[in-house]
Structure 1
Amino acid sequence: MAKKFITIIVFLIGFLSIAQNDQLFEKANSFYNQEQYQEAIDAYTSILESGQESASLYYNLANANYKLSNIGPSIYYYEKALELAPNDEDIKNNLSFANNATIDAIDVIPEGVISRTIGNFTNMFSFDSWAWISVFCVIIFVILFLLYYAARISSKKRLFFLGSWISLLIGVFALIFAFKQYSFITNNQYAIIFAQESTIKSEPNLRSEEVFELHEGTKVKVTETVNDWKKIKLADGKIGWIPATDLKEL
């Protein structure tokens, strides 16, 4: 009885929290529409701090920061929104606008056609989406295979047999893409520069040689952490060390 009562209490608290965040989200949108962008940012951030996140929340927070010329935070939150909604064209377009406002011009090492095609296809869906597609296809495979054994008409048997194996094949490829997406996420930790200007060092200490400079909004790959320093790699292959306080990891 006590466990049931606790469960009900937890459910009610969760429900009230969601309702409260919905009201706060609408209030933040109202601030944004009235061009009170800092107030909107504060409201959106309060929702994030409560543990709730969504593509629309990150997107609106990015827009509000962009309106105040907070390039680093705007790019960061557009990237976070894109993680949850990788096919959203509005997010992609606004992220492109924000990237155009950055100072650093970094040449990207070109990928091969095959590698780029596979990467683009893999990024069509998130890891969770690919996993669910795989599960759904396996279920369809089982159903069609059972129908194949139950069917008495040869044309239907051929149809069910073909459909079942096509479903299984799609499921296997979806599973491969899911693991590829998961591997990409776990092995590629990216971050956005938040400092207006940051000096990149050759080693993780202030006495080491300065190798280059980066500015707010630039996206970097984090490859190593030593104390309060992050080793980063740029899209053009340059590497160096940056104070951890100068960036924010995605």
Structure 2
Amino acid sequence: MKKILQIFILLIASIGFAQQDVTFDKANKLYNQDKYQEAIDAYKSILDAGQESASLYYNLGNANYKLSNIGPSIYYYEKALELSPGDEDVKNNLAFAQNATIDAIDVIPEGFISRTINGFTNMLSFDGWAWISVICMLLFVILFILYYTAQISSRKRLFFISSWLILAVGLMGIVFGFRQYDLIQNNQYAIIFAQETIIKSEPNLRSEEVFELHEGTKVQVTETVNDWKKIKLADGKIGWIPAADLKEL
């Protein structure tokens, strides 16, 4: 009975995935016919069903960009990058969308070492680094066994050196994977969706206005109080914004 139930669940899941594939193809056709809003609605129906992918977010970003929805387009490109950090198409389209934003925010420059480490960290997602670590550990075990069983000294030396190099790569994968995970957990970002919003010094409407932001600007969310979010910009400015004016990634 338990086995029949498992087969039934798998069958239902496969039908659901097939239906989402049909919807995705339909949305792509609508996009190619310049029916961008209808395409967006179709893509979102897939998200509402609990499915997500880098290509789905990428296509949503493209459709919103075509309608000049700068905030949503940047949001979905950023979501696509979370799932596929090394995708050059997503990076290029995100750059185009960011060029359409109003706010020009100076980014505090990173040092060479920090920039290099962050560059390596963002080459892959957390899952990608995890897979590299697992594969390297398996290869390390295989090469070490070959080292012990090899009879020829040159082969023993080759297997020994190769095994430790593979182990080093695997350990680096673990380090970069956990760093990627830590960056995601401890750095909550959001995209401004309001066309224009006033940033306050405190989480209430009576507080002082410190600056204003516009649609599409990326901010870091550091605190939440009721319906207000405390944000920090890349240039170090901080303030409070109504939660309804942004969407967290």
TM-score category (smaller protein): over 0.9
Quote the residue 1:63 is aligned against: 62
Quote the residue 1:119 is aligned against: 118
State the Cα distance separating 1:7 from its structure 2 match: 1.3
Quote the residue 2:91 is aligned against: 92
The total of aligned residue pairs comes to 249
Indicate yes or no: 2:212 matched with 1:213: yes
d(CA) in 1 for partners of 2:44 and 2:186? 28
Quote the residue 1:31 is aligned against: 30
d(CA) in 1 for partners of 2:136 and 2:21? 35
d(CA) in 1 for partners of 2:4 and 2:164? 48
SS of equivalent to 2:6 = helix
SS of equivalent to 1:206 = coil
Runs of 4+ aligned residues of structure 1 deviating over 3 Å after TM superposition are none
State the Cα distance separating 1:28 from its structure 2 match: 0.5
SS of equivalent to 1:29 = helix
Quote the residue 1:81 is aligned against: 80
Instruction: Give the structure-2-normalised TM-score.
Output: 0.99
Please list every run of 5 or more consecutive structure 2 residues that lacks an aligned counterpart in the other structure: none
Percentage identity across paired residues of the two chains? 76
Letter in 2 for 1:235: A
Instruction: Give the structure-1-normalised TM-score.
Output: 0.98
d(CA) in 2 for partners of 1:16 and 1:191? 34
d(CA) in 2 for partners of 1:197 and 1:96? 21
**Cα deviation code 1:117-171 (max 9, x no counterpart):** 1111111111111111111111111111111111111111111111111111111
Please list every run of 5 or more consecutive structure 1 residues that lacks an aligned counterpart in the other structure: none
Indicate yes or no: 2:211 matched with 1:226: no
d(CA) in 1 for partners of 2:32 and 2:150? 60
State the Cα distance separating 1:5 from its structure 2 match: 2.2
Letter in 1 for 2:159: F
**Cα deviation code 1:159-218 (max 9, x no counterpart):** 111111111111111111111111111110000000111110111111111100001100
d(CA) in 1 for partners of 2:18 and 2:145? 45
SS of equivalent to 1:205 = coil
State the Cα distance separating 1:12 from its structure 2 match: 1.2
Quote the residue 1:244 is aligned against: 243
d(CA) in 2 for partners of 1:127 and 1:85? 10
State the Cα distance separating 1:85 from its structure 2 match: 1.2
d(CA) in 2 for partners of 1:7 and 1:152? 49
Quote the residue 1:156 is aligned against: 155
Quote the residue 1:110 is aligned against: 109
Quote the residue 2:15 is aligned against: 16
SS of equivalent to 1:79 = helix
Letter in 2 for 1:87: G
d(CA) in 1 for partners of 2:242 and 2:38? 30
